[in-house]
Amino acid sequence: MSFGIELIRGVDNLPIQGNIEELASKHIDDFVNFWSEELQKYQTQDKQWDWLFKLNFIKRNSEFEGYALVAEDSTQGLMKIETQLHSSHQVYGQKLVYVEFLASAPWNRSFIQRPPKFRGVGTNLLRYARVRSVELGYGGRVGLHSLPESVRFYENQLMNNFGLDENKDNLIYFEYGRLGR
């Protein structure tokens, strides 16, 4: 499985091609060998995420899926989604794809590197979650809880903000409704 996407190179604003692939060991190796030290250095909230554990969990549980965004032979972003257990906050009883984890490589984060190597990593992964939602018959509905440092990103994606969720460590819940409405 490979899904073609387009990123914007930060130094010259030119488009480059990339792919979204099923999460695999090579993506975890990139995370461990190239991302981890930078995430620790900048004390990002996702520095503790164990993507090897997530990959193994996904392999054992059919309701979870993992994806990597790859460009220039390097993992630029990672995402874990849940596809069967979550329901919409907007429309009672409607299933949605729930984004459990979404991360962009450190060099793609403007607070770490200016300009970022690539722009559009998180946006493309989030769009792919919508694609999966459509494929599963959920109409493009996607939900997630945002880390505090990512709230502005999800607001810029025009997701509906449902405010703090007391049941989820007071993280802000965001949701895309059905496409076309």
Taking only the tens place, the pLDDT of each residue in 63-122 is: 999 999 999 999 999 999 999 999 999 999 999 999 999 999 999 999 999 999 999 999
The pLDDT, as a whole number, for residue 46 is 87
Helices (H) and strands (E) in the chain, counts: 5, 9
Instruction: Say which residue the tokens 């405010």 belong to.
Output: 163
Instruction: Say which residue the tokens 């007391």 belong to.
Output: 166
Rounded Cα distance between 158 and 58, Å, is 29
Please report which confidence band the pLDDT of residue 47 belongs to, taking 50, 70 and 90 as the band edges: confident
Enter the tokens of residue 155. Answer: 């607001």
Rounded Cα distance between 98 and 154, Å, is 14
Burial of 119 (0-12, 13-18, 19+ CB in 10 A): middle
The arithmetic mean of pLDDT across residues 123-141, rounded, is 98
Rounded Cα distance between 117 and 29, Å, is 20
Q: Please, what are the domains in the chain?
A: 2-176 (3.40.630.30)
pTM above 0.85, yes or no: yes
